[in-house]
Amino acid sequence: MSKTAKGKRPVYFDNAEIDKLLAIIMALTGEVSILQERLDTIERLLTAKGVLKISDIEAYEPDEEVAKEREQRRADYIARVLRILS
């Protein structure tokens, strides 16, 4: 279940634009941290079970369909991160 902040957005700097930038950076930091932990877990489990080697991941090249899906996911992600600016 995702949590929604209640109340006004906290103010840390005199310039509201800097506060917005800080909010974006903190959102990205949280997202990247979670992704790194999950990816590390997946890679360790798959390697331990002999399903794949890290070199398999490094050598992988997505086909056109996968590339399009990733592009859409990336666009959605960027929109979420930058929503503070709209």
Residues 26-54 have pLDDT tens digits of: 988 998 999 999 999 999 999 999 999 99
Length of the chain: 86
Residues in contact with 77: Cβ distance below 8 Å, sequence separation at least 6, in sequence order: 31
Residues in contact with 43: Cβ distance below 8 Å, sequence separation at least 6, in sequence order: 54, 57
Q: What is the pLDDT of residue 2?
A: 64
Q: Is 62 left (phi over 0), alpha (psi -120 to 50) or beta?
A: beta
Q: With CA atoms as reference, report the closest residue to 21 among 86, 79, 85.
A: 85
Domain boundaries along the sequence of the chain: 16-85
- Tell me what percent of the residues of the chain surpass a pLDDT of 90: 55
Task: Read off the pLDDT band of 77 (50, 70, 90).
Answer: confident
Task: Read off the pLDDT band of 1 (50, 70, 90).
Answer: low
12 within 8 A of 19, measured Cβ to Cβ: yes
Compare 41 and 20 and report the one with higher pLDDT.
41
